[in-house]
Amino acid sequence: MQLEMLAMETSAKRFVVVLLMTQLIARHHPSSAVRTDADGRLRYLLTEQQPVDTLVANVAGDAGLSTDDGDARYVLINNNEQTTRLFRIDGDGLLRTSDVVDRDVLCPQQPACSVLLDAAVQRGSDVRIIKIHIEIIDLNDNAPLFAEPETEFHLAEPTPPGILFPLPVAADPDSPLNGVIGYRLSPESDVFGVRVQNLSTGDLDVRLVLYRLLDRQRKDRYTFSLIAFDGGQPQLSGSIVVKIFVEEVRQYLPRFDRSSYEAQVRENSPAGSIVIRLHASAAPRATIIYSFSRRTQVIYGTVFAINSTTGIITLLGAVDRASYNLSV
């Protein structure tokens, strides 16, 4: 019986020794997969929305510092108070979160999001600065959101097919990879569709397209859901109700402010220069679409362009004639 108790006691001591050795190795072992950036900063990855006190890195181990004597003092210093308060570093040189890191607040819709910190390590009269680079990884934690729950269009019955009407766009603060990547109408229709184009600014231009002539006698109103979806996994979406009312033509007789307009353009004006802004009015809630006549589009379509929504005419190319007659 005494021999068995002695064996158990010896085993317990071995367990304590092994445990202490494991803790010692953990304190001094560098963080896994640690790297440095182009500026020589210790670079770490942190997924957003982690709970408070999440371990980010063993800064002391990665910087080759010993914590055996325990007389080192660590302080985070940074000019940006907002990012500094998100992290803390303890006496063992372990970097942890002191608040939940929300990437969409720090870097809304940005492809990359980084926090740069400096850790001051004081040992006696000696002070060393360790530079830290934390890259915040985005989660797809936001669904596309429209500013309003619904939108309306009032279209004249003889509206020609091919006309494009600007639709509302959804916002998503996530990074571009998890941001809005497309739109669709539900239910699908052979009368209306959606055209989505990528703009040079990185935004999406969304338009309602009329596929064929409207027939008010057959159907005088349409209701769709415009669905915006993102590129995340799992994919998230948001929607807005689109209501379209087909009106009799006599209710919609647009009138220009003037019967004719004159504008002067300098010969060396660059492409994109505004020539003139036209303005037409119609019945309340009417949707006015500006377009060149077929003849004007064929002859001058490479020199001038008209914005179908605003009525602004701009230059596409160089002018080489004394005058131009455009029909709108």
User: 18 by DSSP, 3-state: which?
Assistant: helix
Q: What SS3 state is found at 226?
A: strand
Cα–Cα dist 96/55, whole Å:
4
The string of pLDDT tens digits covering residues 298-313 is 777 888 888 888 888 8
Q: Mean pLDDT across the stretch 284-303? A: 77
Question: Which pLDDT belongs to residue 22?
Answer: 35
Is the separation of the CB atoms in 232 and 174 below 8 Å? yes
Give me Rg for the CA atoms of the chain: 33
What is the SS3 assignment for 263?
Answer: coil
Q: In this model, does residue 30 exceed pLDDT 60?
A: no
If residue 42 lies in a helix (H) or strand (E), which one and from where to where?
strand 42-47
pTM over 0.75, yes/no: no
pLDDT given for residue 251 in this prediction: 54
Rounded distance between C-alpha atoms, residue 168 and residue 223, angstroms: 15
User: pLDDT category, 99, cuts 50, 70, 90?
Assistant: very high
Domains, the chain, ordered by start: 31-137 (2.60.40.60), 150-251 (2.60.40.60), 255-315 (2.60.40.60)
Mean pLDDT of 278-284: 75
Beta bridge partners of 46: 136
More confidently predicted of 219 and 8: 219
Q: What is the mean pLDDT of residues 120-132?
A: 87
Q: According to the model, what pLDDT value does residue 231 have?
A: 93
Q: What is the pLDDT of residues 54-94, one digit of tens each?
A: 999 999 888 888 766 567 888 888 666 777 789 999 888 89
> What is the predicted pLDDT for the residue at 34?
60
Residue 212's Cβ-count burial label (10 Å; 0-12, 13-18, 19+) is: exposed
Predicted pLDDT of residue 263: 81
Distance (Å, whole) CA 108 – CA 172: 8
| Closest-CA residue to 166 (of 307, 316, 315, 312) | 307
Query: Mean pLDDT for the chain?
Result: 81
Q: Is the pLDDT of residue 14 over 80?
A: no
pLDDT at site 274: 87
Q: Please, which pLDDT band fits residue 17 given cuts at 50, 70 and 90?
A: very low
pLDDT of 15 > 70? The answer is no
Check whether 123 has a pLDDT greater than 70.
yes
Using the predicted structure, report yes or no on whether residue 125 has a pLDDT greater than 50: yes
> Mean of the pLDDT values across residues 176-191?
93
pLDDT, tens digit, 9 for 90 and up, residues 141-178: 999 999 889 998 888 888 888 878 888 889 999 999 99
Confidence at residue 83, expressed as pLDDT on a 0 to 100 scale:
76
Phi, psi angle pair for 66, to nearest 5° = -95, 140
